Structure 1
Amino acid sequence: MRPDPSAALRHRTVAAPAGRLHLVEQGTGPLVLLIHGFPESWYSWRHQLPALAAAGYRAVAVDVRGYGRSSEPAGADAYRLLDLAEDNVAVVRALGEETAVLVGHDWGSNIASASALLHPGVFTAVALLSVPYAPPGGPRPTDVFSRIGGPGEEFYVSYFQEPGRAEAEIEPDVRGWLAGFYAALSADTMPAADEPDPHFVARDGGRLRDRFPADSRPAWLTDDVLDFYAAQFEHTGLTGALNRYRAVDRDWEDLAPHRGAPITQPSLFIGGTRDASTTWMSDAIDAFPTTLPALSASHLLDGCGHWVQQERPEETNRLLADWLATLTPSSS
């Protein structure tokens, strides 16, 4: 279905536990919240907003706390999944609705999963992009991440843990760093499938960007798109975004009462065959019959990288619209 060009984007801010959340919405009908990941913004859903509006939904893309025009609370504890789930509930209420469908990508997938798990009466269905659902539990996350990588190497999540360290690398050249990070995870600019992927580790004493693809830009990342993202982070800095990584051990503690819990609402998964998230977490995908018992479908897009809704927007739009149509009639 063709997007309706006459349905304009509407920007607004709403009150939430974070303080202020910036939203961009398009269309009318059942509410669909779109939750981005790192390092992105509401703009990551620029292709989905008009498509879902044309399909008869009220599509709302959120700037997660710490991003864009949303508030940036101080301290890593303010970026726990419990708090981000409460932000999503506040958005639903501020928009005058009782329930919503959630669609999350990357960290947004984890935020959407936690929101659906903690507030099943509010979030009636959940679509997860790139990062599959894994129930709370297992070893402490930072203990796991510290064991990833070879001798003299440090996994990127561990690298992000120390306040100020990654900021010192990124903020002198935000645009260049973002371009390299996006390229490292895009299918057309990452290493060939049979080559080792070094882009998620830093050598001891080195920087993460030292292993980014050199002078390589994925097809989806035009100058206009990169300029938008760069302007956002040049204005806000990266600390709010990076604090999500620094809260993972608190999540592990907070969600302990939900260890092993499935998400029982209708669900959908879309990932890429060339995304490290779907290979590292292949066991989580295999466990979907238990962890997502109401899963409608799991789609792995052949030759697609991590940024599925930007690398493959038309395919992603079709899969989302088809799935949403099975949940509830739209307003079209």
Structure 2
Amino acid sequence: MLGYGGTSSPDDPTLEAFKYQKMLADRNVILSSCGIEIESGEKAHLVGHDFSAIFSSTIVFYYPQVALTCTLMSAPHSPPGRKMDLDVMEEITERELGFEFTAYRPFLLRDDSWQLIDAHKESLLQSCRGLTRNGSRTSCLRDA
């Protein structure tokens, strides 16, 4: 996914490069470099994790003919055109699970989040591995 890990992250204030249609074109280039020509009817196994799962499900929604299979992990299908209200999601997860499940998102949106993550990798990894009795609770606290 564009902007994740070691991938490029365009510094474009319009965020044009991050629009799904642009990323779909990027997907075709990547598949073509692997010898899979979607434009000529070849198909691929799509796998998406976290936000990439939302992207992969969008591909299948608009272009079902490109997928042999579609495996989605860690994220529900989010139909195109529907707005996901994070405040409502937090309210539901806190009520049902007893804690805020996506409270980490505001932290990741901070300008300094990646520097903080880099400086505290081991602590973050321990939290994500769930080394405590309630790993989700320790890894999803707001302002933790």
Relative to the length of structure 2, the TM-score reads 0.64
Counterpart among 12, 18, 21 of residue 82 in structure 1: 21
Match of 1:107 in 2: 51
Match of 2:87 in 1: 146
CA RMSD of aligned residues (A): 3.2
Contact 1:145 1:158 (C-alpha < 8 Å) held by counterparts: no
Which residues of structure 1 form unaligned runs of 5+? 1-63, 211-332
Task: Answer 1 or 2: which has greater strand percent.
Answer: 1
Report the CA distance between 1:131 and its aligned residue: 1.9
**1:185 & 1:175 partners in 2: Cα distance?**
16
Percent identical among aligned pairs is 21
**1:106 & 1:67 partners in 2: Cα distance?**
11
1:117-156 aligned at under 5 Å gives the runs 117-138=61-82, 140-141=83-84, 144-147=85-88, 148=90, 155-156=103-104
**2:51 & 2:138 partners in 1: Cα distance?**
21
CA spacing shift, 1:192–1:96, aligned 2, 3 Å: closer
1:238-257 aligned at under 5 Å gives the runs none
Q: How many residues align?
A: 128
Contact 2:58 2:79 (C-alpha < 8 Å) held by counterparts: no
1:1-332 aligned at under 5 Å gives the runs 64-75=1-12, 76-98=15-37, 99-138=43-82, 140-141=83-84, 144-147=85-88, 148=90, 155-161=103-109, 165=110, 167-172=111-116, 174-176=118-120, 178-186=121-129, 188-192=130-134, 197=137, 199-202=139-142, 207=143, 210=144
**1:171 & 1:191 partners in 2: Cα distance?**
28
CA spacing shift, 1:77–1:181, aligned 2, 3 Å: farther
Relative to the length of structure 1, the TM-score reads 0.32
Question: 1:93 is matched by which residue type in structure 2?
Answer: S
CA spacing shift, 1:197–1:79, aligned 2, 3 Å: same
Report the CA distance between 1:107 and its aligned residue: 1.8
**2:117 & 2:77 partners in 1: Cα distance?**
33
